Chain A
Amino acid sequence: MWQFIKRTWAAIRRPSMHYSLGFLTMGGFVMGIIFWGGFNTAMELTNTEAFCTGCHEMRDNVYEELKPTIHYTNRSGVRATCPDCHVPHEWTSKIARKMQASKEVWAKVFGTINTREKFLAHRLSLAQNEWARFEANDSLECRNCHSEESMDITRQSTRAAEAHERFLFTGEKTCINCHKGIAHQLPDMGHASLITGDSSEQSLVDYLKTE
């Protein structure tokens, strides 16, 4: 084994005997384009609605729930597909998210949520993962389309305008704090709260635990 590594390293170090410098440079350049392009194309292929709904876990559960919501069909005909909300658009963050997603491939292989019952059992923790991600990146994926600079609150209803003025523009809260369950149904919230840290039942549970 060690001999093999040594021989390979020697071959790499030695100047080329048969190919010209121009061929190697140009060849490397062309192959670079092909590999890089191929890699990016393959990754973009995993970033489509068709790819996400290729598995029944997504198609029969979360995709079905998306269909009646405004992010699927609406008056202006703009659709937010799965990756628009669940994958960052910026390249480095996208690669980071894709690497995290390798764990989801593991779950797919071992059928962690391959029945409706299993999906429902995991639903709260799955949703909480996403909520935590949105809170951590200041609802980046929402803001890819809905920026507060281009938000005209005079075109909103009074209560929406007031809420955005008080919480969004001051930076006190981020989109996901109030807008949970807009594209998919909410899981069994139980003691979890729709607004973070704001459940009378949760405080009761905490109190009972301290006793």
Chain B
Amino acid sequence: MTRTYVFIAALITALTGAAIAQDSVATLRSGVPLDQHPAPPQIATVKDTDLRQVRNYPEQPPLIPHKIDGYQIDINANKCLQCHSRTAIEISQAPMVSITHFMNRDNQFLASVTPRRYFCTQCHVPQSDAADLVENTFVDIDKVLEYVAGTKAEDH
């Protein structure tokens, strides 16, 4: 009798385990086996509008509204600073690098961009017209506040 119970329990565990393993792993390989190369997707076009984008929250690093193909940012040179440095903006009319980028970690202002803020693309990125790989449920704070105000109004 106990033998039968153990057998049935083992069978159920094995079956459900297999079922879970089959559709629980999220992958961007779209089901192509590991030893094969899937056809690469078309390279998305970078938005080159030159129009400043809305920040999704105040602390968001501003997005780059133009192409930055081949821009060199390394120990030798920083192509972004050719237009965005303090002294270049009169000629380029580009936004100046934020004053916070001149501060070292002791909040002391340096003469030029501090080394810890030197690599622009660590935070600032251009945008492309690529489709989202995963669904994004981010909601702007203004929408949240509107929603909260709405529910409060309903309560009263």
Contacts and interface: CB of A to CB of B under 8 A. Distances in A.
Given A195-B82, A195-B91, A182 B50 contact: no
A195 B86 CA distance: 13
Interface in B47-67: 48-50, 66-67
A158 B50 contact: yes
A182 B111 contact: no
Nearest to B86: A200
B70 interface: yes
A199 B81 CA distance: 11
Contact of B77 (A70, A162, A186): A186
A157 B49 CA distance: 7
Q: What does DSSP make chain A's interface, helix, strand, loop or mixed?
A: loop
Interface in A135-169: 157-159, 162-163
Interface residues of B, number: 25
B4 interface: no
A189 B70 contact: no
B82 A188 contact: no
A194 B77 contact: yes
A69 B92 CA distance: 24
A83 interface: no
Contacts of B50: 157-159
Nearest to B90: A198
B95 to A, nearest CB: 12
B108 to A, nearest CB: 17
B53 to A, nearest CB: 14
Interface in A175-209: 178, 181-182, 185-189, 194-195, 198-201, 204
A28 interface: no
Contacts of A182: 70
A200 B97 CA distance: 14
Given A185-B74, A188-B76, A200-B87, 20 more contacts: A70-B70, A157-B49, A159-B94, A162-B93, A181-B77, A185-B76, A186-B72, A186-B76, A186-B77, A186-B79, A188-B75, A188-B77, A189-B76, A194-B77, A194-B79, A198-B91, A200-B111, A200-B112, A201-B111, A204-B111
Counting from the closest, the 6 A-B pairs by CB-CB distance are A186-B77, A158-B50, A194-B82, A188-B76, A189-B77, A157-B48
18 contacts: A68-B70, A69-B70, A157-B67, A158-B50, A162-B93, A181-B72, A181-B79, A182-B70, A185-B77, A186-B72, A186-B76, A195-B82, A198-B87, A198-B88, A200-B86, A200-B112, A201-B111, A201-B112
